[in-house]
Structure 1
Amino acid sequence: MKHRGRHRRRRRGRAVRAFLTGTALALTAAATMISASQATVTDGPGAVKPLTASADREALRLSEHLVPQAALDRLAAEMGPPVGVGAVLAGADRTLRDGAHCTDEERWALPVSPAASRAYCWNGADTEGWQPGAVTTSGDADDDGLWGAHRVILSGWSRGGGPAAGRGPARVAFVDAGDLERLTYTWALLAVPVDGGRDYRGLVSPVSGMVWYQDKLLVTADEGGRTALYVYDVNRVQRATVIGEAVGRVPGGWSAHGARYVLPAIASYRLGGGPDAPHPTGVSVDRSTAPDTLVAGEWTLDGGDRGARLWRYAFDTAPGRAGFLSADAAGRVGAIEAYRTEATGVRGVLAHEDAWYLTQGAAGDERRGRLWRQDADGARAVTCGSDGAYGCWSPGTESLSYWAATGEVWTQSGRVLFSLPLAAIDRSAE
């Protein structure tokens, strides 16, 4: 169990900051070439605009649904005692390649500007047929950047070719980031208990948004058009006893689609639905607010006629509610702030102090994505030097995760996991 007796926010900027320092990662020539015809920032999404009408807030309301404790206890009794993050990391049996050993094709996923300071590549055989999604870290979980004695990165993936087009089971890589020269990891299947805890099914959804806060992992899910956040407890990881493609109870034990571990959901948050309900895509933690908040962005069509909504929920501070969102007695969770941006096709969303950072993927004939820094005064794009070209970002980042103790932003695109200083993003967007 995580010890929580530290003084919050006072340990930022200490020796842990050295954890992610180093020279900027050099990109290949292919990754640094920018077309001479690249557009410049002549117009942008403008300032974020507050949404204050009650109808706007109502569309963002969540309802909390807890998995019965008896079901979780029954599953643990059948599968064996749950384990924690430390035990999972001790079983890490795979290694990420350092950026110097990534292929030119893989390096294309890196941003041109600002340059990544760290980069690692996932093994092709290990991720073939899987779609990369969100990233979160122990920097989200606690403001000292540690979970116990560990520095950890969690990376979400979903399987293609499932029952819905392009969808299949979802999983999370637990990455031991204690030694940045050698990142090791292992997989845990994201699951949902069924039949009163006698079995589980896989979460069938892309993992576009994921946040680790205290001992809870919140994951965006879109199953059959029903949008939700599923909640997992990182202290309740179960071991799979049979290594196979099946999911759930099988002859001889429990299988997790090839993963060694299973994370069963303990709760979910669901939007009320209706024609104005948003489709959340990216989520992240904002530790610059009091209390800490979960921020979310809405999926909209690339180049569509409607910009995205951005909003935040407060994390609960009540005893026994660590990691849950702040809900009323009826289990309703209201957005405490909401905004509209004119940006479309928003994927990753990050908020820190008075700024919102939004990523857009490569669209149309563009080969790269964009990153915007927005606030109440306007918007600035991350640019590629003095010519003002702004298609400089990675083409497919689904999420942004800010490691406050080190000042770094972590994300992934394609088979590349990378980080860079938030200060570098701010300088590029000035």
Structure 2
Amino acid sequence: MKQRGRHRRRRRGQALRATLAGTALALTAAATLISTSQATDAGSPGGLTEVRAGSASRLGLHENLASRDALDVLSGSMGGNVGVEGVLRDADRSMRNTADCTGDERAALPVEPTATRAYCWDDADAETSRWRPRSVTTSGDADDDGTWGTRQVILAGWTHRDGRASAPDREEGLARIAVVDATDPDALRYRWVLLVAPRAGGTDFTAVRTGLGGMVWYQDKLIVTADRGEGLLVFDLHRLLRADVDSSAVGRVGHGYSAAGYRYVLPAIGSYDLEGGSCARGRDHAVPCIGSLSLDRTTAPDSLVATEAAGGRPERTRVWRYAFSTAAYRTGLLADTRGRVKAAEAWTTKGAAISGALSHRSAGDREAQWYIGRPSDGRAGHGSLWRQSAHGAEAATCTADQSHACWSLGTGSLSYWQRTGELWSLTDTTDRRVLYAVPLSSVDGSLD
């Protein structure tokens, strides 16, 4: 706490004068602290193996969209939609730049390659053990020009997980989104938004409870993983609403609406349910639980990448993609045939745990490269980031100990900002929570 207090007393100008060279030095120093015993080599996952058509049928989804009338009723009752711009105009928290992050926070960043941008959360959010950052997506996913309106925006998904032995409080499992204004790279500000689901014909809403292991913002829709990986939930970023009652309740309160103390809510507009029924973790041929999500803009059409949630000890873990619809009246939704969504392609990779995956095909490449993030074996050390294809796998080798544990601590989901060429991710370890970016070209350059 004393260390964090010293950071708070620094003048803002000091943070703005911090250089990337200084950041690299700090990260290099952190790398020398990692011993061979601490940096567990996750082992090569080998090449990807294509999933046969019969097995890929277990990856199908069924689309369920809410009544537009019910959504309009809720919007009208809550004073109309405020949108992303309305939330950002009311941003009430600031992110700390690299120079104002603690030494422990900077030590959570990737060792090789090093981050070129890194931000730490407001003190209260950095220190809480009840909320965990899990996923990230950006306006670089939403639109190929990288902006939403006039702003560059980052969305970070957090879920409430209280590990106390006593009965969980009423916040257990709640999901919230940090809406971050990243237009000025030296002064990121954000506001929390609670995820909710409309009910009673749009006259009320209830809290959405999900782990938010994956999240993708595409066009005007936000798609997130549902609770325990049981499909996907869909939200419309135009339909951000403001609560007018400040209380611990969630939903209608008298003549107003409350959101557990949050000022803004984002109501779900639909879901994608697993067509094969309930998912099962750790079983190679069962319907997989969905663990993380990302966007691939290098396919035609653009596609949503999904990974199988960790669980048990399967011989291989599935990664696959769904195509987005190209219909003008279905912006941000998946391509469907009478409510059914099929996987466009599917692969398996060796290993039992994937924290995030990204598929990307650079100009001149014959096939997409898959970037697979994996936590350390004991989740106490740095993870690894592998580039895979059907022909094999490569990962950076740490200079300090010659292992592949060079990625961040508490590895999160991956998001590629196409316009800037940056790979975004975040760490989820308490007191070591950092939002950071690494150029994808640096990742490729660091590979053996």
Alignment TM-score, normalising by the size of structure 1: 0.89
Q: CA deviation at 1:299?
A: 1.3
What is the aligned partner in structure 2 of residue 375 from structure 1? 389
1:288-367 to 2 correspondence within 5 Å?
Answer: 288-301=298-311, 304-329=313-338, 331-353=339-361, 354-364=368-378, 367=381
What is the aligned partner in structure 1 of residue 364 from structure 2? none
Q: Is the 8 A contact 1:134 1:411 kept in 2?
A: yes
The separation in 2 between residues aligned to 1:75 and 1:155, in whole angstroms, is 25
Alignment partner of 1:258: what SS? coil
The separation in 2 between residues aligned to 1:40 and 1:254, in whole angstroms, is 49
Deviation track 1:269-306 (CA, whole Å, cap 9, x = no partner) reads: 0112255111111111000111100001111237x242
Q: Is the 8 A contact 2:108 2:409 kept in 1?
A: yes
The separation in 1 between residues aligned to 2:75 and 2:382, in whole angstroms, is 45
1:184-223 to 2 correspondence within 5 Å?
Answer: 184-222=189-227
1:75-224 to 2 correspondence within 5 Å?
Answer: 75-126=74-125, 128=128, 129-161=130-162, 167-222=172-227
The separation in 1 between residues aligned to 2:63 and 2:169, in whole angstroms, is 26
Range 77-86 or range 56-65, more displaced:
77-86
Deviation track 1:10-62 (CA, whole Å, cap 9, x = no partner) reads: xxxxxxxxxxx9658333544542214577979511110111232x1221000
* Residue 385 (structure 1) aligned with residue 399 (structure 2): yes
Query: 1:32 and 1:141, CA in 2 relative to 1: closer, same or farther beyond 3 A?
Result: farther
Letter in 2 for 1:215: D
Range 71-80 or range 386-395, more displaced:
386-395
The separation in 2 between residues aligned to 1:85 and 1:290, in whole angstroms, is 28
The separation in 2 between residues aligned to 1:410 and 1:215, in whole angstroms, is 20
What is the aligned partner in structure 2 of residue 279 from structure 1? 289
Q: Which consecutive unaligned segments of at least 5 residues does structure 1 have?
A: 1-20
Q: CA deviation at 1:151?
A: 0.4
Q: CA deviation at 1:388?
A: 3.2
Q: Is the 8 A contact 1:293 1:315 kept in 2?
A: yes
Query: 1:298 and 1:166, CA in 2 relative to 1: closer, same or farther beyond 3 A?
Result: farther
* Residue 239 (structure 1) aligned with residue 242 (structure 2): yes
Letter in 2 for 1:352: H
The separation in 2 between residues aligned to 1:259 and 1:85, in whole angstroms, is 15
Q: Which residue, out of 397, 402, 411, partners 2:411?
A: 397
Q: Percent identity?
A: 49
Q: Which residue, out of 250, 254, 262, partners 2:257?
A: 254
Letter in 2 for 1:411: S
Alignment partner of 1:105: what SS? helix
What is the aligned partner in structure 2 of residue 423 from structure 1? 441
The separation in 2 between residues aligned to 1:410 and 1:132, in whole angstroms, is 13
The separation in 2 between residues aligned to 1:340 and 1:43, in whole angstroms, is 16
The separation in 2 between residues aligned to 1:352 and 1:137, in whole angstroms, is 16
More helix by share: 2
Alignment TM-score, normalising by the size of structure 2: 0.85
Q: Is the 8 A contact 1:47 1:376 kept in 2?
A: yes
What is the aligned partner in structure 2 of residue 13 from structure 1? none
Letter in 1 for 2:238: N
Deviation track 1:131-161 (CA, whole Å, cap 9, x = no partner) reads: 1110000000011111121100001111123
Q: Is the 8 A contact 1:38 1:391 kept in 2?
A: no
Q: Which consecutive unaligned segments of at least 5 residues does structure 2 have?
A: 1-18, 281-285, 362-367
Letter in 2 for 1:86: E
Letter in 2 for 1:177: A
The separation in 2 between residues aligned to 1:104 and 1:39, in whole angstroms, is 18
What is the aligned partner in structure 2 of residue 35 from structure 1? 35
Query: 1:106 and 1:166, CA in 2 relative to 1: closer, same or farther beyond 3 A?
Result: farther
> What do you get for the CA RMSD once the two structures are aligned?
2.3
Aligned residues: 405
Query: 1:301 and 1:100, CA in 2 relative to 1: closer, same or farther beyond 3 A?
Result: same
Letter in 2 for 1:390: H
The separation in 2 between residues aligned to 1:40 and 1:104, in whole angstroms, is 22
The separation in 2 between residues aligned to 1:416 and 1:387, in whole angstroms, is 24
Q: CA deviation at 1:258?
A: 2.3
Query: 1:51 and 1:181, CA in 2 relative to 1: closer, same or farther beyond 3 A?
Result: same
Query: 1:163 and 1:57, CA in 2 relative to 1: closer, same or farther beyond 3 A?
Result: farther
